[in-house]
Structure 1
């Protein structure tokens, strides 16, 4: 049995949210379409998948797991996974935003993106955050994009100091740190779109503040600044 990853649950919960907060039947066009999409295996890159992987019947079961994990459900819940309740709760709390996330995930998969398995223990959030997090991190590491962002900031009279805490690698480490800073994709890709990154979507951050933005649920540099102010 292959565990459901976060993005798969978001796509399944999207169906639930559009179906009166109840599960969908295996024979429905929605279950059939999601099965076809997930059976490509892009969210389980490199894994050996069984022949019945994400069949329409499994889509039906998972959507009912999600719907019965909803706090508004009055019956007995099915035996779902540990992420079912948090995901359906997120849809209840911010339905439009989560539906937009689902649309962005579908767009990324349709564009051929995959979610690679990672052994990088330093960045467990990269896989937990799903394919949109993976795309955002890849863009943040794009050397050309980073160079253009730094140049734009300097041309506008700014500095390469962290936009959250003010840490300046050059001032602290001298010549070795001169010009070094990390770039962070400020807004989630389900807001900005999964295909284009504008320089205005990027912020210059030190390594510590950058990690805090990515740790757990995606938060903005402004959120991290608030943590510093009240820490």
Structure 2
């Protein structure tokens, strides 16, 4: 068992844990601190901006710590091993069990790409309840930032008659001027985060127009169910809820 001496370092985020679990699934078992892949992940996490330098000490995500994380994740995959695992570990394994290793690797690839492009991690200033998706805080923060950035383009593609929520069909009062009508609506990605935040360009056609209320609700639905929810499913869930 590796000795990390990592006291004083921040807890592993979900994004970091995605990378570690992807490595575990690649090998099918934990690899030790001397393995080249452990050293590579250690270097990647130390170069990333997920945690501010002021919050880290010289042992931050060293090979010992990475190897220990693989052991803990292996315990989350196989609880019968009797070793400890964190809530973050167990939640991620629940969302991405071994049979979903390919899906997890696509997500890990996106995170590695963001780190490689020296993306700056900026934790969301919005309340955690509505900000958290399945994939992780880094992708969620970027995702919501892109939604805000693309909102103007989405609105510009709609005529006044098309300013309608694609979930609840709400339309802004006609007597208000266009500027005020637009304030009711927000843009929302119609494809999962790992695809929307990857290397591909986001097209306006990838976006839906939602009222602010439905936009908040669909984010909370994803948070509570811990998976991506599309527009059609959200509409069905909300209609079913209103009829009960």
Shorter-chain TM band: 0.7 to 0.9
Mapped to 1, the partners of 2:88 and 2:27 lie a distance apart of: 20
Describe how 1:1-231 pairs up with structure 2 within 5 A.
1-20=9-28, 22-45=29-52, 47-70=54-77, 72=78, 74-76=80-82, 78-92=83-97, 94-121=100-127, 125=131, 129-142=136-149, 145-154=150-159, 159-171=162-174, 174-175=176-177, 177-180=180-183, 181-195=185-199, 196-215=201-220, 216=223, 217=226, 218-231=228-241
Pairwise CA distance, 1:208: 1.4
Q: Is contact 2:130–2:216 with CA below 8 Å preserved after alignment?
A: no
Equivalence for 2:3: none
Equivalence for 2:6: none
Mapped to 1, the partners of 2:128 and 2:80 lie a distance apart of: 41
Aligned residues: 223
Pairwise CA distance, 1:126: 5.0
CA RMSD of aligned residues (A): 2.4
Following TM superposition, the consecutive aligned residue runs of length 4 or more in structure 1 with deviations greater than 6 angstroms are: none
Mapped to 1, the partners of 2:48 and 2:232 lie a distance apart of: 36
SS in 1 for 2:10: coil
Length-normalised TM-score, structure 1:
0.86
Mapped to 1, the partners of 2:129 and 2:146 lie a distance apart of: 16
Gaps in structure 2 of 5+ consecutive residues: 1-8
Residues 166-209 of structure 1: per-residue CA shift (max 9 Å, x gap): 112334x8336323310011212322452421112111011111
Gaps in structure 1 of 5+ consecutive residues: none
Residues 57-105 of structure 1: per-residue CA shift (max 9 Å, x gap): 10100011001111x45321x2221111121222215222121111111
Mapped to 2, the partners of 1:111 and 1:170 lie a distance apart of: 44
